[in-house]
């Protein structure tokens, strides 16, 4: 068997004979993580402020009074001085955020790519300060990708691998981008100063990228209004209100139900729900320019069949999100019923980004996966390996049958909560476990049929910490999600 971290893939040539050339790519690969997928270091305090190499930092970050204060943009940063924070590397351990939920590290993805390139030096990771405007990180990505390609073209391993390529063409760039990383890649290739970069790029694979934004970003900003939410949600809202990147993740599609009308969010709406009107207007202008340029050689991977908010109402400053969306004809007219009311459609998504937002075109590669885990899942890693090897196969029109997973993002320790599996009502078909990410604690979840095509169970966690829920059916891929457990109510820990 050919090993991939977290699993094995069948030997691509099980009946090999001596002398066969290994299947590798000679191209240069760039891995661009998603929001919160990079470690952040504060040079002014000499401290890591996001992504320490153990999960204990999550409790301090989310439950102490000043835990997220270093993430807020300062007046100097809002004015364009970005020297305070550096992003030295990709996330090393699982992380968690309200609304965005679990963010898995990229170790499995990188090992898959290492198994597929001619030499490890062909891989460049691009950690970045995900609080900042997409355009700022895109300009740096364009420069770094160009430098990476030039170094790889001069590498002895490239010269050897190139001899096995069709027509012995020189290496080009391949971008593998998760979540917001897809937006950074899009801007680097279309709005950057390097006009030759698109021609030097063979392909871009995005994983759950919110090209049209996500209602989840509105939920994040709205938590600042003081609704009945756990303490970590308000902590994030306070920090997010200063972040250009969160405003750039707001939905840009027809999502706001306004009596019998459906419309797009305006900067004034964003201010009403708790965001910054000027940051929202800057994001609107940025995407107007971005959408005028096509993303070259793009292949989108989208998560499906996971419960995902897709629309919203804004009532007295509070966001009420719903798991349905609206469709339009080619002239942007909303589809309505006989009474003139907009028709509601459920298209699901990856739990954060609904399916129709995760692609710039209709053709996609669907996978059963939650947003934060899509890049580390076995199914997506197969697709990525195939993409790197330049197979022309674009993936199936429909994913194989699979299940969905619906769990809270935050739960008090010692309190029961509902774990829901969708896609089947047969408990014998699904094995479900909950395990701590940093200890040996693990428990089996006894699922029971609760409704048509659903299973459920009540679960309780022994202590505060980060836990991984895993659901595996007899068919289809495994689905995972991270859950953060902390104290009940609004109580904060001491600093």
Q: pLDDT tens digit string along 189-244?
A: 999 889 999 999 999 999 999 999 999 999 999 998 866 788 899 999 999 999 99
- CA-CA distance, 128 to 479, in Å (whole number)? 27
Query: Considering the chain, what is the average pLDDT of its residues?
Result: 91
How far CA 359 is from CA of 97, 155, 183, 438, in Å, comes to: 24, 35, 11, 35
Confidence of residue 368 (pLDDT cuts 50, 70, 90): very high
Q: pLDDT tens digit string along 75-101?
A: 999 999 999 999 999 999 999 999 998
**Domains in the chain, CATH or no CATH each:** 1-10+23-399 (3.40.50), 404-486 (2.60.40.10)
- Six-digit token string for 184: 């950074």
How far CA 148 is from CA of 90, 110, 157, 193, 418, in Å, comes to: 17, 16, 14, 16, 47
DSSP string covering 401-440, please? P--EEE--SEEETT--EEEEEES---GGGEEEEEEESSSS
Look-up: residue for tokens 């895109």?
A: 138
**Minimal CA–CA distance to 127: which of 116, 119, 137?**
137
- Six-digit token string for 395: 């993936």
Q: What is the pLDDT of residue 53?
A: 82
2-7, Cβ contacts within 8 angstroms, sequence gap of 24 or more: 2/115, 3/115, 4/108, 4/111, 4/112, 4/115, 4/378, 4/381, 5/107, 5/108, 5/111, 5/112, 6/108, 6/376, 6/378, 7/378
On the question of pLDDT at 492 being above 60, the answer is no
Q: What is the pLDDT of residue 23?
A: 85
Handedness of CA 485, 487, 491, 495 (dihedral sign): negative
């Amino acid at each position: 068997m050919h090993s991939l971290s977290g699993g094995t893939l069948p030997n691509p040539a099980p009946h090999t004979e001596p002398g066969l050339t290994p299947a590798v790519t000679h191209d240069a690969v760039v891995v661009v993580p998603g929001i919160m997928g990079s470690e952040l270091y504060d040079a002014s305090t000499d401290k890591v402020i996001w992504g320490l190499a153990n999960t204990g930092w999550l409790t301090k970050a989310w439950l102490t009074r000043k835990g997220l204060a270093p993430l807020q943009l300062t007046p100097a940063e809002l004015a364009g001085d970005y020297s305070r924070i550096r992003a030295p590397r990709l996330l090393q351990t699982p992380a968690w955020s309200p609304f965005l939920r679990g963010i898995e590290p990229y170790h499995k993805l990188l090992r898959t790519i290492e198994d597929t390139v001619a030499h490890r030096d062909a891989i460049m990771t691009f950690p970045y300060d995900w609080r900042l405007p997409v355009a700022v990180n895109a300009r740096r990505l364009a420069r770094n990708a160009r430098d990476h390609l030039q170094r790889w073209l001069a590498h002895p391993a490239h010269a050897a691998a190139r001899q096995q390529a069709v027509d012995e063409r020189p290496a080009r760039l391949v971008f593998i981008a998760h979540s917001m990383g897809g937006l950074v890649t899009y801007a680097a290739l279309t709005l950057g100063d390097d006009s030759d970069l698109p021609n030097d790029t063979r392909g871009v694979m995005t994983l759950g990228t919110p090209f049209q934004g996500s209602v989840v970003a509105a939920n994040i900003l709205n938590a600042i209004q003081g609704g009945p939410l756990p303490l970590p949600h308000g902590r994030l809202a306070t920090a997010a209100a200063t972040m250009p990147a969160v405003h750039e993740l707001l939905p840009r599609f027809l999502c706001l139900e306004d009596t019998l009308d459906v419309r797009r969010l305006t900067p004034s709406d964003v201010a009403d729900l708790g965001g910054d009107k000027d940051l929202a207007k800057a994001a609107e202008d940025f995407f107007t320019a971005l959408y005028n340029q096509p993303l070259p050689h793009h292949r989108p991977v989208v998560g499906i069949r996971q419960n995902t908010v897709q629309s919203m109402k804004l009532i007295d400053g509070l966001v009420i999100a719903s798991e349905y969306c609206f469709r339009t004809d080619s002239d942007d007219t909303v589809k309505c019923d006989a009474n003139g009311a907009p028709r509601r459609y459920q298209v699901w998504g990856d739990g954060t980004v609904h399916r129709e937002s995760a692609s710039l075109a209709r053709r996609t590669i669907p996978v059963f996966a939650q947003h934060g885990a899509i890049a580390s899942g076995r199914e997506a890693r197969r697709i990525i390996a195939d993409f790197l090897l330049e197979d022309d196969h674009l993936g199936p029109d429909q994913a194989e049958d699979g299940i969905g997973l619906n769990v809270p993002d935050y739960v008090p320790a010692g309190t029961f909560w509902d774990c829901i599996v969708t896609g089947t009502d047969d408990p014998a078909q699904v094995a479900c476990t909950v395990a701590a990410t940093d200890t040996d604690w693990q428990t089996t979840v006894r699922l029971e049929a609760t409704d048509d095509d659903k299973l459920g169970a009540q679960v309780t966690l022994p202590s505060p910490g980060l836990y991984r829920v895993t659901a595996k059916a007899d068919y289809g891929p495994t689905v995972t999600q991270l859950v953060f457990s902390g104290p009940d109510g609004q109580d904060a820990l001491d600093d």
